[in-house]
Amino acid sequence: MPSGAAAEDRAAEYLQRQGLKLVARNYRCRQGEIDLILREGTTLVFVEVRSRASSAFGGAAASITQAKQAKLIRAAQHYLSLQSSLPACRFDAVLIDGNDLQWLKHAFEVVS
């Protein structure tokens, strides 16, 4: 299983090959951390990268809990509060189970 940094490197490289532009890595604030922030056209994409040795026990996807989603949303809100204008946004996930990489667009949504 790759380290967290290696998994993020792999995810960033993969997404950039898909045409997304890297904006920031490991954005940290008091509310939490966002692994990758990219731009796809005019949309800002907040990406959570999860890596597991295998898909047993739910694999990487099962590790993105409701609590983790809430922290990501709060960190994204903080990031957006520093921007001059609010772009369209979405939350994606890159799941790495063993050697398999899966990109989930719209992995979860903000429900208000």
C-alpha closest to that of 73 among 42, 33, 14, 21: 33
Return the percentage of the chain with pLDDT > 90, whole number.
65
Is the pLDDT at 57 greater than 60? The verdict is no
C-alpha closest to that of 94 among 5, 12, 1: 12
Provide the domain limits for residue 38: 4-108
Please give the backbone phi and psi of residue 82, each rounded to the nearest 5 degrees, phi first.
Answer: -95, -5
DSSP letters of 42-90?
TEEEEEEEEEESSSGGGTTGGG--HHHHHHHHHHHHHHHHTSSS--EEE
Average of per-residue pLDDT values in the chain: 88
What does the pLDDT look like over 17-41, one tens digit per residue? 999 999 999 999 999 999 999 999 9
Domain CATH code at residue 21: 3.40.1350.10
Half-sphere exposure of 51 (CA within 13 A, CB side): 14
Most confidently modeled range among 12-16, 56-60, 107-111 = 12-16
- Residue 48: what pLDDT? 95
70-78: average pLDDT: 94
74-88: average pLDDT: 94
Report the domain count for the chain: 1
Tokens of 26: 């490991």
